[in-house]
Amino acid sequence: MRPTLTQLHLALRQGRTSSVALTEHALDAIHRHREDGGVAFLQLDAESALAAAHKIDAAKHYPSFLSGIPISVKDLFDVRGQVTTAGSVVLKNEPPARQDAQAVARLRAAGAVLLGRTNMSEFAYSGLGLNPHYGTPINPGDPTRIAGGSSSGAAVSVAQGMSAAALGTDTGGSLRIPAAFCGLTGFKPTARRVPQQGCLPLSPSLDSIGPLASSVSCCAMMDAVLRVGGTPALSQDILPSLNGRRLYVSEDYVADQLDPAVAQAFEQALSRLSRAGAKIIRFDFPELRQIADINAKGGLVAAEAWRWHHARLTGKDGSSYDPRIARRIRAGASQSAADYLDILEQRRALQAVATRRLSMADAWLMPTVAILPPTLAELEDDATFTRLNSLVLRNTSIINLLDGCAVSLPLTPQIGLSVSGLYNRDHHTLKLAASIESALAHA
């Protein structure tokens, strides 16, 4: 059982451990991981991490839940003095960042010990987590399977005890997919809840910054720091009862092509929540099938990624991209200004429909991912990669398109439950997800 941030914080305050001890333990785990061929971390900053831990211990004061806690950072964020490569060789010769990304600065100000940069899908543009440049982080429960992406190294760093929590991003599921596949909790906040300054963009309309951790409370603590840049006090919130809570379950689109194991775990979870007093309300949401048309030419992601990447892709760096990622980005070149504006209008219309259909819902539940983690072997085939990447991203990307928020909770070590809310329902969704987490644990 991985310790939560609350448990680690109390152990620090009570003198049962130290930041140096926690950091050394994390660094030892990273070294063992690397010796075994693991590639969760692209860059390790052991010297700076230990110096920060010693400084925090010397002060004998741990005001924040993150004070003295080892945290990993996805290789999409600027960290002063380091090169942000975004999991690509294209950027490896860029100058080091002159300042921290705002999210990184807020973690540092809260006393977090930053261990290093974690591996990822190149430029965050895949839900599968493969990286042909630096190697692919593998599933901690099954070395023949993927960890999920794009925040693959972030998830493995937490799942294997190399960090207490991880900073990542989510444009279509990049926090929640690896959370589901690695038995973790991931929180995708409403876009722009956390400032994006200093984080390399994929699709600014959809990008969100959030945490991967061991529990909902851990994610909420990370979110409190990332959102306001303060040092959160110990929360005294009492978890809301599930009695009478209206949990909506759509039976079309998100339930298509479910692996039998996923379907069984999901229905068992619904039964346990019903016994805990929740009202499970099944409904149809046929308009979700319009998403295939919205994404026919690559959707918002391809259009906005092409804007950032087109100069490099059409220049001397083009051949250095992962061909699968390059192909997806180049789809944006086929979109006209009218196409892009049409997508924005279709998005607004779908958001309006969602607001009506979910007006009485306390939360919208669905399997985080429709299938179990694919094997590395089957993803060697390009057609299979494309098909499974779309299927893995299908459920999670709905919430990004709707500009909502979602928590993925582990049902099994490789299956997740998504607890979703609409725009700016983050605080409510986190609290309700914590109640659902508790109910599932005690059912």
* Calpha distance 10→62 (Å, rounded): 9
Catalytic annotation on 19? no
Angle at 176 between CA 400 and CA 263, to 5 degrees: 100
Sheet of strand 165-170: strand arrangement: 41-44, 113-118, 70-74, 165-170, 208-213, 185-188, 405-412, 415-421, 363-367, 246-250, 279-283
**Which among 67, 150, 163, 208 is annotated as catalytic?**
150
Catalytic annotation on 74? yes
Please state the φ and ψ torsions of residue 415, each to the nearest 5 degrees.
-135, 135
| Count of C-beta atoms within a 10 Å radius of residue 322 | 21
* Calpha distance 67→235 (Å, rounded): 16
CB 102 within 8 A of CB 195: yes
Helices (H) and strands (E) in the chain, counts: 14, 11
* Calpha distance 80→152 (Å, rounded): 23
- Nearest-CA neighbor of 112 among 178, 208, 26? 26
AA letter at 186: G
* Calpha distance 361→359 (Å, rounded): 6
Residue whose structure tokens are 């007093």: 277
* Calpha distance 65→233 (Å, rounded): 8
- Nearest-CA neighbor of 164 among 93, 130, 213, 234? 213
Kindly tell me the sign of the dihedral angle through the C-alpha atoms of 377, 383, 389, 395.
negative
Beta strands in 226-287, from DSSP E residues, in sequence order: 246-250, 279-283
**Which among 67, 126, 174, 397 is annotated as catalytic?**
174
* Calpha distance 238→181 (Å, rounded): 30
**Which among 18, 64, 74, 203 is annotated as catalytic?**
74
* Calpha distance 187→192 (Å, rounded): 14
* Calpha distance 120→171 (Å, rounded): 13
Catalytic annotation on 316? no
Q: Cα 108 from chain centroid?
A: 20
DSSP 146: B
List, by residue number, the catalytic residues.
74, 150, 174
